[in-house]
Amino acid sequence: MRERMRREELKQKLGQDEFRPMFETLYGTKAEVLSAQRARYEKAVERFEELYPEREDIYL
């Protein structure tokens, strides 16, 4: 799956757990694993913002 969205939209969707079905497919259903993966993605978005402040679009 490749979906383009704004950084803020991605952060909002991560915070609302909208990617849970995709994460479960990729990482299994253990709550602690899913929580760690969501945190990893949130950190990746933060790092993207630091490295590319002029870029608004992000792909997942």
CA 59 vs. chain centroid, Å, equals 10
Q: Where are the domains of the chain?
A: 4-52
Partners of residue 4 on adjacent β-strands: 59
Specify the pLDDT at position 34: 96
**In the chain, % of residues over pLDDT 90:** 83
- Listing DSSP states for 6-58 in one string gives EHHHHHHHHHTTTTHHHHHHHH-S-HHHHHHHHHHHHHHHHHHHHH-TT--EE
14, 60 in Cβ contact below 8 A?
Answer: no
Question: Does position 23 have pLDDT exceeding 80, yes or no?
Answer: yes
